[in-house]
Amino acid sequence: MSKILLGVGPTKINKDALREFRGDIELCRTDFSRNLVKNQVQKLNYFFGENRYSFAIPGSGSVGMEACLSNLLQSGDVIVVGVAGIFGWRIVEMAKRLGVQVLVVEADLGKGVQLEKIIELLRHYKVKLVCLVHLETSVGVLQNLDSGFSNFLKERGTLLLLDVVASYGGIELELDKWGVDIAYASTQKCLSAPSGLALISYNDNARREIEKNAQKVNWCYDFSNIYRHISEGVYPYTTPLFLLNVLDSILNYIMKFGKETYINKQRHSGTRVKEIFESIGLKMLPESIWEAPQVKVFYTPPELDSYKIINVLEEYGIEISPGIGKLKHSIIRLGTMGTAANTNELEYLDEIVHAKIKALL
Amino acid sequence: MSKILLGVGPTKINKDALREFRGDIELCRTDFSRNLVKNQVQKLNYFFGENRYSFAIPGSGSVGMEACLSNLLQSGDVIVVGVAGIFGWRIVEMAKRLGVQVLVVEADLGKGVQLEKIIELLRHYKVKLVCLVHLETSVGVLQNLDSGFSNFLKERGTLLLLDVVASYGGIELELDKWGVDIAYASTQKCLSAPSGLALISYNDNARREIEKNAQKVNWCYDFSNIYRHISEGVYPYTTPLFLLNVLDSILNYIMKFGKETYINKQRHSGTRVKEIFESIGLKMLPESIWEAPQVKVFYTPPELDSYKIINVLEEYGIEISPGIGKLKHSIIRLGTMGTAANTNELEYLDEIVHAKIKALL
């Protein structure tokens, strides 16, 4: 039996979406390829929202993170990063390497970042950019956002960056309503495509800043140059055609059923995972108002190393994720992203949890 | 009939090598994946040469180019770039964005860079790095290298970077003999793997410089951090497992037959392409001593727009490459890299050339 992946990503590649994918697509200079490259903007906007500049670049979500920061920031700029887990800290690390002054607003464990604290900082500093992670997979926390916050930022000319690596395709994004000027996502989580592309999306506010940095930012990261080429159906470097084709097939598949169906399936499956583990007495790490729909994180009892649970599930062919850093041995993390939202597999999980995990507690 | 790709890359994916590839490889935390990630170093060294630090990073050859420059250089450094075509100019562009002083040694059209001219510059400047492109696909020129040159660089503590994007897997590389401290390659040319990975390789001299820059270079490009993680079987960001698996299958396939066989096939096919076009009177662009074995570039007669030839071949299902920039309408470029080294397809090319192209001249 092939392994069941219920970790927090990557997910299993969506083979249903690839049934008609030939994999030997003809490369370069064909109308087919040019249209594929041009049309990605509109297709990616199915989740990003209308009227945005959106495209894929070779790399992972982290490449998207660093490329967005590089396109907006210059040495000496002041930014605020809201940190609720390790991906927030990664933004801090990358921004520091760019010579930027970073102000950190850290959330309590299991909570999202309090937007009022960011607003407070913005009253005292001239801040160019605020960075938040929408779904912190390290703790299962979903950051809330509201239009009051975004209006405050807009009034001060501060841009908002949102990491949607783990939420793109899994949660309804309302980037315009939330005032998100720039966002980046990945392909290997809720889309269940192979890893290897970072998805970028920005609005006109971000575009103006990006254009100021054009020619200064790293050549491979230069969004102005990339977007201009993509509008003509090519990339400034080798077009990642194989991965773009797979991505296109998967987006077509999702659009056929509709994003509501696709997203609901992940949320319902997340609810089922929660039921399963709560029914044997495990407590969730995030407070319920911060809980992500398709990533569920549980404490293991103080005397039980989380790897005991992980290893037993592994014996039965189920892979879940351990904690990271200080939480390595005290939490377990499960995802129902993309193809992992599979009812049959969750009923099998339920059986194993009751038959084998309960006995460990 | 499926299209015949005889451009200068990307090439058609090697399906023979993928016959046993399942494409649904189980991700994360498995011994299989960890070993795959660790073992890539040794497998990539099948072409890079022994005792080097070698690994793949997400991206294209251009990402490899920029990542190598970023890891070695700091603002204010002086470098020499030998330019024989557009990829040399791309190095210049990227290096300038890093705040580096760039001295250019430009070759005459159709020739490689004269190493004596670089040596002359090195007598007058304290140069940190010399950059050369091994196979300039824009003009079909193969750069020669020799141990006299590399010894001169070594004595002065100047590092040598070589772009092997178009030669990795297609020409026997002798990086140690040539004194190449750092090199980068791609997967979509002579290896006939999907695009999406840059292959990096460096020796201990380069490693020392790279370690000085660790923590300062962009996070995603930080070779010290990447190599340390790869030694443990993971990446610091999402491991590009799908592409690594495809690459592994293709390297295994090549190793089974031996690189001599694989390289010879490309060279012989290149010779055949040369015969075909010379037999109808076309002249090669590069001087014969600079001619690349698996990339052949021809002038079209002054009165004949190169696109006339390209379009007729296209009608018969054969794709070749046009010139770039000033040469756009006056040259044609053909590659016999990787899977493009196909005898049957070349005999078909020969037929079409004699039946249809000859009549245009």
| Global ipTM | 0.94
Q: Which residues of A241-276 are buried (b: 16+ CB within 10 A; e: fewer)?
A: bbbbbbbbbbbebbeeeeeeebbebbbbbbebbbeb
A64 lies within 8 A of chain B by CB = no
Residue of chain A with shortest Cα separation from B99: A216
Q: A195, A229, A243, A306: which to substitute to probe chain B, counting the most B Cβ within 10 Å? A: A195
CB within 8 Å of A357: residues ≥ 6 apart:
A280, A309, A312, A313
A313 lies within 8 A of chain B by CB = no
B3 lies within 8 A of chain A by CB = yes
Length of chain A: 361
Q: Cβ A62–B27 below 8 Å, yes or no? A: no
Rounded to 10 degrees, what is the CA torsion of B229, B234, B240, B242? Answer: 150
Residue B333 annotated in ligand binding:
yes
The list of chain A residues with pLDDT below 70 reads: 1, 22-29
Strands A129-133 and A101-106: unpaired
In 10 A of CB A173, how many CB atoms? 23
Phi-psi region of B71 (alpha: psi -120 to 50; beta: other; left: phi over 0): alpha
Q: Can you give the pLDDT at residue A17?
A: 87
A70 lies within 8 A of chain B by CB = yes
CATH architecture of B17-255: 3-Layer(aba) Sandwich (3.40)
Domain A20-255 CATH (choose: 3.30.1360.70, 3.40.50.2300, 3.40.640.10, 3.90.1640.30): 3.40.640.10
C-alpha span between B14 and A340 (Å, rounded) = 30
Q: Can you give the pLDDT at residue A299?
A: 98
C-alpha span between B87 and B253 (Å, rounded) = 29
State the nearest Cα–Cα gap between B26 and chain A, in angstroms. 7
User: Which residue among B217, B242, B319 places its CB closest to the CB of A196?
Assistant: B242
C-alpha span between A136 and A307 (Å, rounded) = 21
User: Which residue among A9, A27, A97 places its CB closest to the CB of B218?
Assistant: A97
Bridge partners of A298, per DSSP, are A284, A332
Within chain A, residue ranges assigned H as helices are 31-48, 61-72, 86-97, 115-124, 147-156, 204-213, 223-231, 241-257, 259-279, 306-315, 343-352
C-alpha span between A324 and A28 (Å, rounded) = 42
Q: Can you give the pLDDT at residue B32?
A: 86
C-alpha B75 chain-centroid distance: 27
**Spatial CA neighbour of B197 closest among A226, A238, A9, A55:** A238
The list of chain B residues with pLDDT below 70 reads: 1, 22-29
Supply the DSSP symbol for A283: E
Give me A100's structure tokens: 């930027």
C-alpha span between B350 and A82 (Å, rounded) = 63
CA gyration radius, chain B: 21
Q: CA geometry: angle at A41 spanning A40 and A44, to 5°? A: 75
The helix, strand and coil proportions of chain A, stated in percent and rounded to the nearest 5, come to: 45, 15, 40
A82 lies within 8 A of chain B by CB = no
C-alpha span between A61 and B82 (Å, rounded) = 35
- Secondary-structure class of domain B4-11+258-360 per CATH: alpha beta
**Helix, strand or coil, per DSSP, at residue A258:** coil
**Spatial CA neighbour of B9 closest among B352, B292, B300:** B292
Rounded to 10 degrees, what is the CA torsion of B75, B76, B78, B84? Answer: 50
Q: Can you give the pLDDT at residue B299?
A: 98
Domain range list for chain A: 4-11+258-360, 20-255
The letter for the amino acid at B154 is: K
Rounded to 10 degrees, what is the CA torsion of A15, A20, A26, A32? Answer: -110
Give me A269's structure tokens: 């499956």
C-alpha B48 chain-centroid distance: 12
**Spatial CA neighbour of A159 closest among A183, A180, A185:** A180
Q: Which residues of B123-144 are buried (b: 16+ CB within 10 A; e: fewer)?
A: eeeebbbbbbbbbbbbbbbbbe
User: Which residue among B3, B195, B241 places its CB closest to the CB of A242?
Assistant: B195
C-alpha span between A60 and A82 (Å, rounded) = 21
Query: Do the domains at B4-11+258-360 and B17-255 have one common CATH topology?
Result: no
Cβ contacts from A onto B, under 8 A:
141
**Residues in chain A closer than 8 A to B27 (CB atoms):** 5, 10, 12
Q: Can you give the pLDDT at residue B269?
A: 98
**Residues in chain B closer than 8 A to A56 (CB atoms):** none
> Which 174-233 residues of chain A touch chain B by CB within 8 A?
186, 188, 194-196, 215-220
**Spatial CA neighbour of B226 closest among B243, B239, B212:** B239
CA gyration radius, chain A: 21
**Residues in chain B closer than 8 A to A94 (CB atoms):** 218-219
State the nearest Cα–Cα gap between B223 and chain A, in angstroms. 14
B150 lies within 8 A of chain A by CB = no
CB within 8 Å of A101: residues ≥ 6 apart:
A76, A77, A78, A79
